[in-house]
Amino acid sequence: MSELSESFEYIVEEENERELLVIVPQNYNFFAVEELRFKKGKDVKLKVLSEEEYAKLIQDRISGENVVLEEEEEREEKSEDILFQRDTSPAVRLVNTVLIKASSVNASDVHFEPYEDEAVVRIRMDGVLHDYTKVSPSLYQEVVSRIKVMAKLNVAEKRIPQDGKIRVKIGKRDYDIRVSVVPTVFGERVVLRLLEKTGQLLTLSDLGLSKGDEEKVRRLAEKPYGIVLVTGPTGAGKSTTLYAMLLHVKNPKKNIITIEDPVEYQVKGISQIQVNPKVGLTFAQGLRAILRQDPDVIMVGEIRDPETAEVAVQAALTGHLVLSTLHTNDAPSAITRLKDLGIEPFLIASSLEGVIAQRLVRKICNNCKEPYKPSKEEIRELGLPEEDYTFYRGRGCEHCLGTGYRGRTGIFEVLEVDEDMKKLINETQDSVKIRQFARKKGYKTMLEDGIEKILKGITTSSEVLSVVK
């Protein structure tokens, strides 16, 4: 069985009475290998991999390990790819191992939670928290200190909340990690939000839109002016959809500027502004400044107050395409919300071009997917006629941490505002009447989109019902 050296300088792949087969990277440490030869008293044969292959191998090995750490050994920090860090201090090794695991399962957050007799480390994967390991109280203090040092926070201050940022490299992936430290009864609680700088942005084809909805969204993104809104609760993937639309229209002939809080993805060829209320740079102020920068497309992170809504509408009416988000439950409700923010109905009708409402659902793990016959109650809850259906679910396996789910996709409803709809908005902003009118024109709800994904074996009925009802 292969053995990973504590300093990540080599991997012992095979060993017999006379020799060792050792895997090393191209830039391997000659002295570390010689020390191994001396300690073992055996011939050492080397299998040399490129640095990229070696980093991938280490990541796979470490992310598959169970974390068992001793509370001893010394500390020596170097700023480098954490896959190759040679520090063997238990706290440093624990933090590195947790980050490597989080990276390998594409986790969004890592929680370090102290309790009376132990601390728990949990990882949020596909929107759901999973227990990863437990840490003794004495080691936990060192772990928190290590994270604070990495985030350049005050290690001595334990009475007030602190926020910071860590930049780390894990193999070929660069992360900006937002750090939040909050004091609790049993110690400081730490949450890390992982944002991958080198992450591949999703295109419109990757979002999970049905063919008809994808064509609608492409048409909306290609509008020369007007407002297009993406709605849904926090964590529904609204920003990802906006960026996919920006990528669709991005070209050297267009001036695209965004104002966000925070800037979640860095995109070459797009100017991005970070909101900073401390110096008076709000969404509304930033949006006014952007209008003097001769933009073609503007993305506003969120319309959250009447002032921002008013400036966004004016921008749309003066020949700019404005993409933004709102917190509403469905697409027709966005029109009611704009009225609540003080926008006159005739201005909503003139400026609004379309609304996309969305939620995220977990996808069934392809490694353990199995068919089953749903119960009558399950069919009734989805509002389907009683027929013979085949649904799918995940049994749970090592690839999905036993959850039966791996990855997420969106369920959507896309409302295009045509001339007839604009006339109706002038008359009424009642979301029920707008929905009824849109249904006559082929508008499909999120529940209907979710049912299509259930029947195709992409997700489960419980996932769809949990986010829609």
Q: Which residue has the tokens 């993937």?
A: 237
Rounded CA-CA distance 440/447 in Å is 17
Q: Identify the residue with better confidence: 4 or 210.
A: 210
Among candidate residues 180, 196, 212, the one where a domain is terminated = 196
Q: What's the average model confidence in pLDDT over 425-434? A: 92
Do 232 and 339 reside in the same domain of the chain?
A: yes
φ and ψ of 452, to 5 deg: -60, -40
Token pair, residue 65, equals: 């390990």
Show the domain range for 378: 204-468
Residue 331: is its pLDDT beyond 60? yes
Burial of 137 (0-12, 13-18, 19+ CB in 10 A): middle
Decide if 231 is inside a domain: yes
- pLDDT at residue number 374: 94
Nearest to 412 by CA among 355, 341, 334: 355
Note the pLDDT tens digit of each residue in 51-86: 888 887 877 776 665 444 444 444 434 335 666 665
| Helix and strand numbers, DSSP H then E, in the chain | 15, 19
Note the pLDDT tens digit of each residue in 225-283: 999 999 999 889 899 999 999 999 999 999 999 999 878 777 889 999 999 888 989 99
Residue 451: is its pLDDT beyond 80? yes
Do 144 and 101 reside in the same domain of the chain?
A: yes
Do 119 and 223 reside in the same domain of the chain?
A: no
Q: How confident is the model at residue 321 (pLDDT cuts 50, 70, 90)?
A: very high
Do 301 and 374 reside in the same domain of the chain?
A: yes
Do 87 and 213 reside in the same domain of the chain?
A: no
Q: Identify the residue with better confidence: 298 or 26.
A: 298
Q: Identify the residue with better confidence: 62 or 463.
A: 463
Tell me, what CATH number does 252's domain have?
A: 3.40.50.300
Q: What's the average model confidence in pLDDT over 330-345? A: 94
Decide if 142 is inside a domain: yes
Do 299 and 407 reside in the same domain of the chain?
A: yes
- pLDDT at residue number 88: 67
Q: What's the average model confidence in pLDDT over 418-436? A: 93
- pLDDT at residue number 198: 60
Residue 13: is its pLDDT beyond 60? yes
Do 143 and 276 reside in the same domain of the chain?
A: no
φ and ψ of 246, to 5 deg: -65, -40
Do 192 and 211 reside in the same domain of the chain?
A: no
Overall number of domains in the chain = 3
Please name the amino acid found at residue 189: R
Residue 406: is its pLDDT beyond 50? yes
Token pair, residue 49, equals: 């991999």
User: CB of 53 within 8 A of CB of 172?
Assistant: no
Tell me, what CATH number does 19's domain have?
A: 3.30.300
Do 192 and 212 reside in the same domain of the chain?
A: no
Nearest to 132 by CA among 140, 124, 142: 124
